[in-house]
Amino acid sequence: MDVRSNPPAEAGGRELSGITPSGSLTLGNYLGALRRFAARQDDGFFFVADLHALTTEHDPARLRRLTLSTAALFLASGLDPDRATVFVQSGVPAHVELGYLLESTAHVGELGRMIQFKEKGGRPGTRASLFTYPCLMAADILLYDTATVPVGTDQSQHVELCRDLAIRFNATYGATFTVPRLAPAAVAARVRDLADPARKMNKSAPDDAPGVIRLLDPPDLIRRKLRRAVTDSDGEMRYDPATKPGLANLADIVAALTGRSPQEVIAAHGRYGELKDTCVDAVVGALDPVRRRHDELMGDPAGLARLLEHGAGRARSVADPVLRRARDAMGLVGAPYRADGGCGVPPMPTAAGRTTVDEDGERRTLQPPHQGNRS
């Protein structure tokens, strides 16, 4: 799952990004996501999407560890809790609740067409949440009144669904959600697997995958993985991602970390081994402070919990009013959960549709007003 909304600054929208803690974060996550988060963090919302990690079999202890570690890596990579809202998704119950309301808006036909469900689901033992999680993802987006969602190829179907659900909900129950616009995502550099450059470096690869650099790998391990990176046998220093993907990947990594172009990086080296050495220095130099800061944060669990609760509180203050609008529009009258401990009983907006008892003791149900176009 990758929820992202990083609208162009001129659109005035807020950055919203979530990463599922389904594996230990990689150099790809750092260059493709975390480093950009820090650069665009003001008023942004950044969450660890732990609920999305429940759609396939999971180990609770591992999930707990990865969730906290991912949050610590967000902070260690430069997100400042005073400038950005950093939180764990399950700390904001509105995500689950709006997810259910949207499941009650979505149709099984459209969820069944989701490519990721068709690829990974459909077996008797498949978790039901793998079928319904696009509704949770739609809730992730709609709760923050997100105006623009940039769409890469792998998530476009989910974002289209989010839009369809928002439009259908608004048409059925009255204007409730900001309907997000789709925008083409900026093309970000893809870091490739060092052992198989045809594939992207993926956090969900096995923990000991030799071609995946984890942000928490110690310098020695990073050095070993980079020294063993697959290249090619012609020995020619040339930037050509199509025919020399391993070499191009190393040059891309150095380029991303040093601000030079990959062609310049290649031209500055006479042999593959020299480029690998430069790559080791650049990666270790960038990740060492991140790992140290992560370890400090993880060494103070109460302090980390306080920072995340601070973020969750800010997220709830934005998400809860949106959820309340949706609950009211759908006719739910139960007291909404309130983190401040208040009873949260909403005022009765109108008597319509509710059962009342007349002065003479007769029970009477008032009819609801017209509530928008039902489709």
Shorter beta-carbon distance to ligand AMP: residue 18 or 121? 18
**How many residues does the structure list for the chain?**
375
Is residue 72 involved in binding ligand AMP (CB under 6 A)? Answer: no
Name the catalytic one among 203, 225, 244, 276: 203
Shorter beta-carbon distance to ligand AMP: residue 22 or 85? 22
| Nearest residue (beta carbon) to ligand AMP | 32
Paired with 88 in beta bridges are 48
Task: State the number of binding residues for ligand AMP (CB under 6 A).
Answer: 15
Task: Please give the Cα distance from 104 to 324 (Å, whole number).
Answer: 16
- Catalytic residue flag (residue 118): no
Site map 11..50 versus ligand AMP, x via CB under 6 A: --------xx-------xx-xxx-----------------
Site map 194..223 versus ligand AMP, x via CB under 6 A: ------xx-x--------------------
Name the catalytic one among 118, 120, 225, 244: 120
Name the catalytic one among 118, 200, 225, 244: 200
Cβ atoms of residues 7 and 16 within 8 Å: no
Among 96, 188, 351, 366, indicate the residue that binds ligand AMP (CB under 6 A).
Answer: 188
Shorter beta-carbon distance to ligand AMP: residue 194 or 298? 194
- Catalytic residue flag (residue 203): yes
184 class by beta-carbon count within 10 Å (0-12 exposed, 13-18 middle, 19+ buried): exposed
Q: 11-16 contacts: CB < 8 A, separation 24 or more?
A: 11/147, 11/148, 12/147, 13/146, 13/147, 13/148, 14/43, 14/44, 14/45, 14/144, 14/146, 15/40, 15/41, 15/43, 15/44, 15/45, 15/46, 16/44, 16/45, 16/46, 16/140, 16/141, 16/144, 16/146
Q: Site residues (CB under 6 A) for ligand AMP?
A: 2, 4, 19-20, 28-29, 31-33, 188, 190-191, 200-201, 203
Residues marked as catalytic: 120, 200, 203
